[in-house]
Structures are given as C-alpha cells and as structure tokens.
Amino acid sequence: MENANKGMIVSLASLVAARGEARRLGLGSGGRILSTRMGSHLSPFRGPGAEHDESRIYVPGDDPRHMDWRVTARTARAHVKVYRDERERPLWLIVDQGLSMRFGTRVAFKSVIAARACALLGWAGVEHGDRVGGLVFDEQSRNEQIPATRQRGLLPLLRALTPIQRRGRQPGCTSIAEAAMLLHRQIRPGSLVFIISDFNATTMENTAWLTRLCSHSEVVLVSVHDPIEEHAPPPGRYPVIQDQGGHYLLDSRDASRRARYESCFQNRLALLEHLAYRYAAHLLILRTDWPVGSALARGLGQRTGKTRQ
C-alpha cells in the first residue's frame, strides 16, 4: 500500500525500521527532565540534597520553599529554584494527523513527516531508557498511550499512525490545544514533551495549553510545513484536491495576493518563535522536502536550556 501511495501514508514496518537511524539523535544528553524513578539522565529535581541547576519564573502550584529570592529581587518577578538529579524521564509524543496535516506538494504529506518524526524521537527515547507514550489524533478519533518502558509504550503509537489502525476508540481532537488540554493532567512534572504539528490553528489568544505544559515540563514544538506554504507558487491558477474529495483553485496571479499568502506563513512562524521564547520551550522546524532524521538531528543539536541564573 505504501508503494502505491508513496508520501501519502506510512507503514508500520517503516516506522519500526526507523530505530536504527534514531540512535544518532541526541536525546540522552540534552534537556532538564525528571521522574521519581532512577535512570540515566541528569535533570532538575526539586528536593533536598540535589544540586541547584537554574531558576525559572514562578507558576501557581510551585513550592514556595524553593523561591529564589535573589533572582526575584533582581528581576522583580517571582522565581523558583530548580534542582537536578539523576532520573529516568517520561517522554510524551503528541502527534497531529488532522486535515491540514494531510497535505503536501514535495516528497510527502505533512502527516507522513510527522509520523516519521514521531518514530525517530520515540525510538531515540527507547534507546536512552526513557518511558515513551503519547497521543495520536485527528478530527475523528484519538489514540492515547501512557508512557511505558522499552517499546511497550511506543509501538501502540506507531500502529495508530498507520492507515489500517488510525481509528481510535476515543473521540478525536480538532486542534493541538484540545489534545494538549486532554493530556496535561496525565503528564507528570519533568516530562519531555514533543508536540508535532503544523500548528495551523494556533493563536495568541489560545495558549493556556502551552502555559500549563511548560510550567512543569520541557516542551519541544516540532513544526511541519510544506514548501508551498512558505513561498507562493508562480503566478497562475492551481487546482487543489482536498482530503474529503472536494477541490478548489489557488489563484496566485495577483502580486498582492501572493504577498498576503506568504505573510500568513511568516506570521505563523513568528508566533511559534514568540511562544517558544515566552514559555521557554524549544522550536524545531521540519519541511516535507527535508530528510526528517537530519532535520531533527540539527534541531536537537541547537536546543538550549532556559537561561541560567
């Protein structure tokens, strides 16, 4: 099936085979992560006897005993101390397979790129001893998996990314915001959370989901886009076939219309950059005509922690 629809769907075999390439991703050395079980990662851990690693802005629910009064006085904003210790971490993968993701003009659909990214990041977590789980969703259904050791948590997610097993037992989600709000109570403090989407519906007015996730976890926004979203096609009228069988014409003959078209993408990218900076998250960019593994490796290599005080 995958050969007949190359770039439109993925097979479970190809996602499982990504394990070899995933060993080259650097998830083991970056991040500030924790859990209550011992493991191989150096991560922030709030508790006596641990090393003070950094300070961050106070959020409701933080233990007032960990207030960093020196930084609070200097910045005029309440900060708490974050500590680190050796801990195993939960790794969450939230993967958007919605309507806007089932689109592509070069190499593969955005949904396929997202699936490959999920497989690579998930296997990288397995290789480093993380407990992997997450959520795969579209408008019609969703598949949730609590993080589990070895490949027990990852394989159900990979199955959910294939066309045969896309249908989940639970109602779907219409946006990343909805999916994240469903999961945020299950995501334990100190988790590493990858959110893979085109963030097409993300707005500045609806960021409560990101606020909640970033208040206690390390969050990586993995934005997937197609080249035609970044640069308008040459002047002309282009038929666009929709996933549900409909179609429309993309008219790029007018220069001002092409400029508005491209500004939509630039505004969305600027919004993601702003949100990543504001909430101390990370932002990785994937494009449908870029090799997924190489792009992830570059992005993970550029990840930086919150400013140390």
**Number of domains the chain contains:** 2
Integer Cα distance of 265 and 229 in angstroms = 6
Residues 136 and 229 both lie in one domain: yes
The pLDDT of residue 243: 57
The pLDDT of residue 40: 41
The pLDDT of residue 198: 96
Residues 23 and 143 both lie in one domain: yes
Q: Is residue 35 domain-resident?
A: no
Please compute the mean of the pLDDT values over residues 139-164 and round it to a whole number.
91
Q: Is residue 187 domain-resident?
A: yes
Residues 69 and 205 both lie in one domain: no
Domain that holds residue 70: 41-86
Please compute the mean of the pLDDT values over residues 35-42 and round it to a whole number.
36
Please compute the mean of the pLDDT values over residues 4-10 and round it to a whole number.
78
**Residue-wise pLDDT tens digits, 165-195:** 666 668 899 999 999 999 988 998 889 999 9
Integer Cα distance of 99 and 139 in angstroms = 7
Residues 68 and 207 both lie in one domain: no
What one-character-per-residue DSSP string does 3-59 give? TTTBTTB--HHHHHHTHHHHTTS--SSS-----SS--SEEEE--STTSEEEEEEE--
Q: Is residue 61 domain-resident?
A: yes
pLDDT confidence bin for 88, thresholds 50/70/90: low
Residues 228 and 153 both lie in one domain: yes
pTM: predicted TM-score of the whole model, two decimal places: 0.78
Max avg pLDDT among 63-67, 77-81, 204-208, 222-226: 222-226
Domain endpoint, select from 56, 71, 86:
86
Q: Is residue 67 domain-resident?
A: yes
Share of the chain above pLDDT 70, in %: 80
In this structure, the strands spanning 247-251 and 237-241 are antiparallel
Residues 78 and 152 both lie in one domain: no
Residues 135 and 73 both lie in one domain: no
The CATH number of whichever domain residue 136 belongs to comes to 3.40.50.410
Q: Is residue 269 domain-resident?
A: yes
Residues 215 and 102 both lie in one domain: yes
**Residue-wise pLDDT tens digits, 278-303:** 999 999 999 999 999 999 998 887 55
Domain endpoint, select from 51, 67, 86:
86
Please compute the mean of the pLDDT values over residues 186-211 and round it to a whole number.
92
Residues 161 and 52 both lie in one domain: no
Q: Is residue 184 domain-resident?
A: yes
Residues 130 and 240 both lie in one domain: yes
pLDDT confidence bin for 227, thresholds 50/70/90: very high
Q: Is residue 172 domain-resident?
A: yes
More confident residue, 222 or 1: 222
Residues 77 and 220 both lie in one domain: no
Q: Is residue 307 domain-resident?
A: no
Domain endpoint, select from 51, 66, 86:
86
Cα torsion angle, 248, 249, 254, 258, sign: positive
Residues 177 and 266 both lie in one domain: yes
